[in-house]
Structure formats: structure tokens, C-alpha cells
Amino acid sequence: MTGDMAAPARDMTAPGPVPVVLAGARGHGRWHLANLRRLQDRGRVRLAGVCELEPLTAGELAGAGFHDEELPAQSDDFGALLDSTGARTAVICTPIQTHTGLALTAAARGVHLLLEKPPAATWADHARMTAGVEGAGVACQVGFQSFGSHALPAIRDLVRTGAIGNVTGIGAAGAWVRDEAYFRRAPWAGRRRLGSTDVVDGVLTNPLAHAVATALDLACRGRAEDLRSIETELFRAHDIEADDTSSVRITTTGGLPVTVAVTLCAEQAGEPYVIVHGERGRITFWYKQDRVLVQRAGHGPEETVHGRTDLLENLVDHLERGTPLLAPPASTGAFMRVVEAVRTAPEPAPLPAGAWETRYDGPGGGARRVVPGIDALVASGAESLALFSELGAPWARVSEAATP
């Protein structure tokens, strides 16, 4: 609600669990609903309200562990729900193009935020959201869950102490499987825009956004001002507007290349990862598993699995005890520069019919489009820091370069 006057941030010293409103409780929002149940059982939060266009049924709430004596208020009016529940924090897990408006509605009421990734659809919206949050004096955490991995500081320590020598580049790879129904899950799915509204629901900016953001976090702590150039190669095998098979190379102001190669048309689904390349070794980080493999000269391979701090719990700790936020908006600035480069790039190029095929996975499996050879190509991109066109993919065109 753009006309609202900024209100003081709501008092976090009040006794008892922090009242939270969840905006968007279906789809990925179910994960947040379950996490809120977990934290409510620990006495950290209380689910005060759910904002959905269609209210959750009693069965949906019961399935998440919420029963008659503790059912949250429900409304399709986010601002009114914040007011009526006295929420001190909101979790926003709604379509990408709604993030900025809802974040500003919460900030105007002094409500702190956990905002799902990507935080906005455009650089201008991200800047407007960041300014609104800062002006209101509220805390905002962006939902890049990998930023809570304890592997990240461990990797930084390895780099700082010279375990792999000077860093020469960072690569990331993601080979995922999505059927055609995935792109029909919502009106905005697989879209670059709805009418005149930007959406940018492509593989780099949404499903495998963690690969981009995690690589940039390791490269420059995600700071937008540390990027010099961005080269994009955007393709689509599916009949959608957005990209489903893409590579991007970001160069930092220090000259470090960061190359990400990703697809939703994999032959087999794999765990996405980031590689920190060094003069004397490498560090591979499977960020969904919090797993790290160090390979370096004069040592055998060393593998470790790390813990993870939940971002909502970290937000509550920040508000109650001053614990630093793990994913503030500033740490997503470089990622948003990539989103902007993708948004303003030419339309993703459709792959020729001979470059993909339709497969069905098992009895009752939905149709999905597969790009033969893409799994190896994605891995090669992370390994060599090269774009698809440089790896000799016959369907790849020369990259588009942008300066942040």
C-alpha cells in the first residue's frame, strides 16, 4: 500500500513467541508452513495469520500440524491481516512480481521480513524495496537458504589460509529435471512478463537461483558494486517465454570469473554445486547437502558435512539479540544485477527441434523435454568456466554482455 506512512518497527522485546504472518502458504509456501510449525513447537514463533487468495482448509492446516485450538487468522488482504494480528514478522512466499509491493506494505507497518528469493523481478524494484525497508527501520532477510550453511564460512577460511592457493575462478552447475506440468503450475510460471509486469521466472533467476547467488557470495559476498560485467546465454527447450537452459559469466571488478551453467532439461537430476578453483586445488560445495570436498596438492581428498542455520530463526535471533543477518538485501545485490541482465537480454533462443527430445519417467510420468548431452555440458561449464557457445554446443549463440 504505497500511501501508508512508515511506522516504527514493532517491539521485539514483548514476551512470548514472535507472531508471524505467512503470505503464500501453498506451493513452496508449504515448506515455510512446516518450518513455522517446527519453530512454534520450540517456542520461538507463533503463526498468527495466513494470507492466501483462497483460505487454507482445515485439512491443509492439520496436515502441517495446526489444529483447532491454534488455527491462524486468514485473509486475502495482507495489510489488514498484519494489522489485525499484530504480527511483528512476515514471511513472504508469493509470486515474484508481488514481492516488492508486499515487502513495502509490511515495512510501512514496522513489520520485519523474511522475503523469498528472488527478492524482486527488477533491479529498480529491488532498490525500491531496499530503500523502503531501510527507511522504515525494519530487518529484512532474503530467502537464500544456502546462506545459512556453515559450509560457507568454512570455505572462506580455507581460501583465506591459502589451502588451494590464489582463487582463479568460481563455477557452478545445476542439472535438474522438470516436466511440462511444472510450467503450468501458476499463471506466472515460465514467464518473463505478464502484460507490462516483469516476472523473470527463468532457470537462473528462480529454480536454480541458489547456484548463482551462492557462487556470488563466495566471489564477492554478493555485493553489486563488485561486478564489472555479465555475459548471458539464454535458451529454452520448453514452449515458454523464459529460459530453461542457460549459462552466465560474471566478472568481478577484481577480474575473477564466475560462471554458472544450469538446466531444467537434464537427462538425470543431479545435486547442484559450486566449485572454487584455485592455483593449487579446488573446493566443491554441494549447497543443498551442506557438503564440501577439498582437493589440493599434497593432500588426499577431504570431505566434510556442515550444519545449517535456519533463516527465519536467524531473523528472530537478530531481532531479539542482535545476531547478524545471514542474507540481508545488500548480500543479494550482485544476484539482482544478474536478474537484471537476464531481464534485459534478448528473448531466450528456442532450441531447434533436433536439440531436445520428449521423455516420460516411469508409469504415469509426465512428459518432459530433455536436451541430450546437457548434463555433461553443464558440468563442463563449471569446470572450465566457459559458456555454452565456448564449449561447442551446436545450438549456442554468442553471449550477450552487459555492464552492471
The pLDDT tens digits of the residues spanning 193-222 come to 999 999 999 999 999 999 999 999 999 999
Q: Please give the residue that has the higher pLDDT: either 361 or 381.
A: 381
Q: Could you tell me if residue 312 is inside a domain?
A: no
Residues with Cβ within 8 Å of residue 191, at least 6 apart in sequence: 199, 201, 240, 241, 242
One domain, residues 224 and 355: yes
Query: Per DSSP, which regions of 279-366 are E strands?
Result: 281-286, 291-296, 302-305, 349-350, 357-360
Residues with Cβ within 8 Å of residue 303, at least 6 apart in sequence: 291, 292, 293, 294
One domain, residues 182 and 133: no
- In 3D, which of 167, 264, 251 has the Cα closest to residue 209? 264
Would you give the DSSP letter of residue 43?
T
Q: Could you tell me if residue 188 is inside a domain?
A: yes
Q: Please give the residue that has the higher pLDDT: either 401 or 33.
A: 33
On the question of a cis peptide bond just before residue 329, with omega within 30 degrees of 0, the verdict is no
One domain, residues 200 and 71: no
Q: Could you tell me if residue 319 is inside a domain?
A: no
Q: Which of 138, 164, 198 is the last residue of a domain?
A: 138
Question: CATH number of the domain that 154 lies in?
Answer: 3.30.360.10
Q: What is the pLDDT of residue 402?
A: 79
Q: Could you tell me if residue 221 is inside a domain?
A: yes
Q: What is the pLDDT of residue 2?
A: 34
What is the spatial distance between Cα 292 and Cα 146, in angstroms, rounded to a whole number?
13
- In 3D, which of 15, 70, 24 has the Cα closest to residue 47? 70
Question: CATH number of the domain that 128 lies in?
Answer: 3.40.50.720
The residue type of 55 is P
Q: Could you tell me if residue 227 is inside a domain?
A: yes
Q: What is the pLDDT of residue 361?
A: 82
Structural domain harbouring 80: 18-138
Q: What is the pLDDT of residue 318?
A: 97
- In 3D, which of 163, 287, 143 has the Cα closest to residue 214? 287
One domain, residues 96 and 199: no
> Do you know the residue count of the chain?
404
One domain, residues 213 and 98: no
Give the strand order in the sheet containing 18-23.
73-75, 45-51, 18-23, 89-92, 112-115, 140-142
- In 3D, which of 172, 221, 196, 198 has the Cα closest to residue 342? 198
% the chain with pLDDT above 70: 95
Q: Could you tell me if residue 378 is inside a domain?
A: yes
One domain, residues 267 and 373: yes
Counting the structural domains of the chain, the total is: 2
Confidence of residue 223 (pLDDT cuts 50, 70, 90): very high
Q: Which of 138, 161, 188 is the last residue of a domain?
A: 138
Would you give the DSSP letter of residue 113?
E
Confidence of residue 1 (pLDDT cuts 50, 70, 90): very low
Confidence of residue 6 (pLDDT cuts 50, 70, 90): low
What's the pLDDT tens digit per position in 14-23?
Answer: 668 999 999 9
What is the spatial distance between Cα 54 and Cα 56, in angstroms, rounded to a whole number?
7
Taking residues 156-171, report their average pLDDT: 98
Q: What is the pLDDT of residue 399?
A: 67
One domain, residues 28 and 91: yes
pTM of full prediction above 0.75:
yes
Confidence of residue 69 (pLDDT cuts 50, 70, 90): confident
Identify whether the C-beta of residue 371 lies closer than 8 Å to the C-beta of residue 203: no
One domain, residues 102 and 195: no
- In 3D, which of 242, 396, 352 has the Cα closest to residue 386? 396
What's the pLDDT tens digit per position in 307-323?
Answer: 999 999 999 999 999 99
Confidence of residue 262 (pLDDT cuts 50, 70, 90): very high
Taking residues 39-44, report their average pLDDT: 96
Q: What is the pLDDT of residue 4?
A: 47
Beta strands 357-360 and 367-370, pairing class:
antiparallel
Taking residues 56-75, report their average pLDDT: 91
Confidence of residue 58 (pLDDT cuts 50, 70, 90): very high
Q: Could you tell me if residue 144 is inside a domain?
A: no
Q: Which of 104, 138, 172 is the last residue of a domain?
A: 138
Helix (H, G, I), strand (E, B) or coil at 103: helix
Residues with Cβ within 8 Å of residue 173, at least 6 apart in sequence: 211, 260, 261, 262, 272, 273, 275, 378, 379, 381, 382
Q: Could you tell me if residue 323 is inside a domain?
A: no
One domain, residues 100 and 214: no
One domain, residues 124 and 227: no
One domain, residues 60 and 209: no
One domain, residues 59 and 158: no
